[in-house]
Structure 1
Amino acid sequence: MNSRHRRTLAAVFADPVSGSIAWSDIESLLISVGARTIEGSGSRVKFEKDGEVESFHRPHPSKEAKRYQVRAARVFLERIGIKP
């Protein structure tokens, strides 16, 4: 995990939940901690690590993740044992 991933991790766990985190940064963070990407149809994407699976829809047309997506990423990271 590099310094950019650490900043993204801190932003994901920050309160109040940010609505200005780029979705690509969250995807990069999840991949850096060992999650496997499973592409679905359209904008659907799943991440899997150690039997834990979380499903997302990539935001469009904007590049920022919605607050509920940031919360879901936080819960997924906690389930796989990743905290700032």
Structure 2
Amino acid sequence: MTTTKAKDPLEGVTLETLLTELVANFGWKHLAKEVPVRCFMFDSTIKSSLKFLRQTPWARTKVESIYRAWKLEPPKGKVLFPS
């Protein structure tokens, strides 16, 4: 019996790639709404955000869950980041 398991979207993806893709697709403003941290709200850069996320497990987990939800394609009509 073979079980089909969906591939984890985080497999093989660096934190920098993950963050860059989220910013390119949703922008800093939407990330700041979902994860209200200074590095997303003020003078946002990939470098400062990576430093923060690497030192703050709860924030990294939240960002990774946003990425997973986006990559696993939510059902049609569901908005990940409402305006």
More helix per residue:
2
- Shorter-normalised TM-score: what interval? 0.3 to 0.5
Which of these two proteins has the greater Rg computed from alpha carbons? 2
TM-score by length of 2: 0.36
Q: Tell me which protein shows more strand as a share of its residues.
A: 1
